[in-house]
Structure 1
Amino acid sequence: MTTVSIDSALGFTIPHRHARGRMVRLGPALDTILSKHAYPPVVATLLAEALTLAALLGSTLKEDDGRLTLQAQAEGGAVDLLVVNYEAGVLRGYVRHDADRVAEIPRDPSLFALFGKGYLAITFDLPAIGERYQGIVPLEGTSLSQAAESYFAQSEQLPSVIRLSAATDADGTHVAGGMLIQHLPEGEEGRDRIHTRMDHPEWDHVRALAETVKPDELTDRTLGFDALLWRLFNEDEVRTLPELALSQGCRCDPEHFRSVIARFPTDERVEMADENGEIHVDCEFCSTRYSISLESLDA
């Protein structure tokens, strides 16, 4: 079996329809992230879709040092916190959940069953130009992709179609895929971009075709991005960008933790330490524990 387009993102445009998009497929990087935690299948699927969404959105950043954070926070559901980061093709993420409540929800739960009442925040950090943008929308709809579409409609006034899919192969490995496509209006100075949803037949055409994509096409390891784009948009000229490699990574740094703890007064550091004189710092993303001794801090 030939494996193509894994752990990568592809940008594309449909110039005559004033549309742009991204495709993402995750494999080994996804396995590495999920292997750090013993998530129930429902939670693993949620995180896989969130990582795919972060890659779709983050790969649109033009700045090399740009960062994207996707955070869903809620109360009353099985999941109360979901955090995913993207930076220069590197992904990390984790989910905080109640195992007992997760066991009670259906195998294909709605957003409300997962989260209860909550919100989705998407933050773009652009250090190169000193800018930070954040949009917050309610966690509404049946899926994470619908909540993200609401974000673009409300915060960006940008008509969008987002599709996410995750699957587990027979050998237990994971794969996830996604597609983002958006309408880019032309010659509409002074008008709200949301109007393009109503009065541009080009967008209706692209949206109708994009919505025909099947979940298993997004996760098919043997189906290249070019082949999938041809299936969907062969009536139009589609221009593609070079593929962007994606990987798992974490920004946790034991030396950084040490320097932060060293700033605390000695008596507070003693209170943090266990009976062996060790201060423990846990990274939720990579499920790694760092132990820092009081003796080393004093030295």
Structure 2
Amino acid sequence: MAELALTDNILSFAIPAKNCRGRVVRLGAALDDILAAHDYPPMIRNVLAEAVCLTALLGALLKDEGSQLTLQAQTESGVINLLACDYRDGALRGYVEFDHERLALQPVEPSLMALFGKGYLAITFDLPAPRGRTQGIVPLEGASLAEAVQNYFFQSEQIPTLIRVAFNESAGRNIAGGLLVQHLPEGEEGRERLHVQLDHPEWEHVEIMGGSVTPAEMTDTALPLEDILWRLFSESDEVRLLSGKSCVKGCRCNEGHIRDVIARFPKEDKDDMVDEAGNIAINCAFCSKTFTISSASLNN
């Protein structure tokens, strides 16, 4: 397989002898573009960077073109009111709504509970027909979003999963890296999974090796993703590289899409949206662009 670029790529891999597969990702310019859409304070920027990296790792599990993965936090009484990210065919986007006053009262490193309150994480897979949409919801518990997603796979999917995510901001660049490894004995292609347990000898070995990855390795833009995998797993097992996929910031808003959205509203609601100049202004939360549509140009 051709060598991947050092950032904005996802690399899929397998460890055949241990019945494990995984993904490793590093984001650079794509993450910069997502974070630059809003003037986020550092604490919120860190959370969104972790969420976007997780979304890339989960989205890379999708096999069919046009499939979409959405990661959304539903919160109550926390600093963050809403966090939403999604992935489709390598295109990533995400944003956060938060309470500035509550954020100012937080320590330098707030807990997950402080940021999200009594929150839940919804992970939604939109797949082509006939499979359609599936969704899992887990409490936002643990030390990080990555730990909450690990809990999702254990509770909802009964799949032993290791996830590590790191974020580094230096010299004006935002770099996030992540690793996801899963144990899928006997059942990767849809057969019934056998012997799936957290203390399975095959999984114990991979979990220890994968868990040794450092934040510096995941965010080192001079270190190829392939080399991370060799360092972690190749000493005792074959590591098979499967495929690579590039990532970009991919907000899907445009004037045609905005017009389609407006068209779904009843005439009375559309009339209420019109300003004094006779226009309807719609802001995209993901990319922070405002689209101004003349009401006269709409078919009411």
State TM-score, norm by structure 1.
0.93
Aligned residues: 294
Give, in whole Å, the separation in 2 of the partners of 1:172 and 1:276.
40
Residues 16-55 of structure 1 aligned to structure 2 (within 5 Å): 16-55=17-56
- SS in structure 2 at match of 1:243: strand
Counterpart residue number, 1:227: 227
Counterpart residue number, 1:104: 105
> Contact 2:79–2:102 at 8 Å: present in 1 too?
yes
> Contact 2:24–2:57 at 8 Å: present in 1 too?
yes
Give, in whole Å, the separation in 2 of the partners of 1:264 and 1:4.
44
> Contact 1:162–1:179 at 8 Å: present in 2 too?
yes
> Contact 1:34–1:44 at 8 Å: present in 2 too?
yes
Counterpart residue number, 1:179: 179
Give, in whole Å, the separation in 1 of the partners of 2:224 and 2:264.
51
Give, in whole Å, the separation in 2 of the partners of 1:232 and 1:264.
53
Counterpart residue number, 1:113: 114
The one-letter code sitting in structure 1 at the alignment partner of 2:101 is D
Give, in whole Å, the separation in 2 of the partners of 1:279 and 1:14.
54
Coordinate RMSD, CA, aligned: 2.0
Counterpart residue number, 1:61: 62
The Cα of 1:94 is off from its aligned counterpart by: 0.4
Counterpart residue number, 2:78: 77
- SS in structure 2 at match of 1:91: strand
> Contact 1:4–1:222 at 8 Å: present in 2 too?
no
Counterpart residue number, 2:291: 290
The Cα of 1:259 is off from its aligned counterpart by: 3.6
The Cα of 1:191 is off from its aligned counterpart by: 6.7
The one-letter code sitting in structure 1 at the alignment partner of 2:247 is L
Give, in whole Å, the separation in 2 of the partners of 1:263 and 1:32.
30
Give, in whole Å, the separation in 2 of the partners of 1:264 and 1:53.
34
Give, in whole Å, the separation in 1 of the partners of 2:278 and 2:192.
64
Residues 1-299 of structure 1 aligned to structure 2 (within 5 Å): 4-169=5-170, 171-186=171-186, 195-198=196-199, 200-233=200-233, 234-262=235-263, 264=265, 266-297=267-298
- SS in structure 2 at match of 1:242: strand
**Please, which runs of 5 or more residues in structure 2 have no aligned partner?**
none
Give, in whole Å, the separation in 2 of the partners of 1:263 and 1:212.
51
> Contact 1:210–1:232 at 8 Å: present in 2 too?
yes
* 1:101-142, Cα deviation, whole Å (9 max, x unpaired): 122222222210110111001011112444211100000001
* 1:151-210, Cα deviation, whole Å (9 max, x unpaired): 0001110000000111101x21100000000111238986776x4213x21100000111
Which moved further from structure 2: 265-274 or 216-225? 265-274
> Contact 1:13–1:21 at 8 Å: present in 2 too?
yes
> Contact 2:13–2:243 at 8 Å: present in 1 too?
no
- SS in structure 1 at match of 2:119: strand
> Contact 2:73–2:121 at 8 Å: present in 1 too?
yes
The one-letter code sitting in structure 1 at the alignment partner of 2:156 is S
The Cα of 1:80 is off from its aligned counterpart by: 1.5
The Cα of 1:226 is off from its aligned counterpart by: 1.4
Give, in whole Å, the separation in 1 of the partners of 2:281 and 2:241.
47
- SS in structure 2 at match of 1:208: helix
